[in-house]
Every structure is written in structure tokens, then in C-alpha cells.
Amino acid sequence: MRSSGGSGKGGEGKGSVRDVTFVSGFPADFSTERLEELDDESHVMVVSIIGGNHRLVNYKSKTTVVASPEDVTEKTVVVESYVVDVPEGNSEEDTIFFVDNIIRYNLTSLAKLTKKMMG
């Protein structure tokens, strides 16, 4: 992802919409996402893709942050799961490859931002 910004629809909480611009190398330029759920207490975020110039259909992802079960220090694990329909003309493998790359990029960016914030 190169940039994102709210489109002014629905504010910043549940129901808000943002436009995302992808970096080069992705087979798409932009996507429009809606925040379906944001629960700070449970550390859960659910996002649906509602538009863009890609072939993702009925995409919804859930990101959860939980304490690491293998470490007694204050480490966390980020788990992202998704559901998406395979569009006509695409293979299941191509769809999974595309979404997995987006998720990998997002999680890598999150890790870098977290490390920067921790000093």
C-alpha cells in the first residue's frame, strides 16, 4: 500500500470508508475499504473491500491482536484471516496469491511501525 485516506464517508469509526492506493507491482492501483468492526477492548478489526480496480469480490478480513502464548514477556501476535470469492476468469491460486501479498505487505508495515513506535 502506498497511501490511504478517509474519503469523508462515515467518519473514522465503524462504517467509515477509505481509499487505498497500492504500490507498483500489484495488479491494481486502488481499493475502497469499509471498516465493519473496530473493537479496541477485544483488539479486533474487520474490513470489507467495497470497490477498486481489482478483481476481489466479497472480500472481508479480520485482524486480531492477541498475547503471544509462547512468551512470558509482553509480546503479541497479529492474526489476519479473510474470505473472498474467486472471480470469474481468475484461478483460486491467483486470488490467494494476490490477497496473501497484500496481507504480507500490511503485516510487514505494521511490524515496522510498531518497532519504530517502541523506540
Of 67, 77, 65, 9, the residue nearest 38 (C-alpha): 65
Q: Cα torsion for 91, 107, 109, 43, to the nearest 10°? A: 130
| CATH for 102 | 3.30.530.20
- Select, from the ranges 44-48, 95-99, 100-104, the one with the highest average predicted confidence (pLDDT): 44-48
Number of structural domains in the chain: 1
Sign, CA torsion 100/101/104/105? negative
Which of 115 and 7 is assigned the larger pLDDT? 115
User: Is residue 6 predicted with pLDDT exceeding 60?
Assistant: no
- Copy the grid coordinates of residue 35: 471498516
Quote the CA–CA distance of 94 and 63 in Å, as a whole number.
22
Task: Report how far apart, in Å, the C-alpha atoms of 110 and of each of 5, 7, 60 are.
Answer: 16, 22, 19
Quote the CA–CA distance of 42 and 8 in Å, as a whole number.
26
- pLDDT tier at 103 (50, 70, 90 boundaries)? confident
User: Is residue 18 predicted with pLDDT exceeding 50?
Assistant: yes
Mean pLDDT of 64-87: 84
- pLDDT tens, position by position, 19-70: 888 776 677 788 899 999 999 999 999 999 999 888 888 999 999 998 777 7
pTM of the model: 0.78
- Copy the grid coordinates of residue 15: 462504517
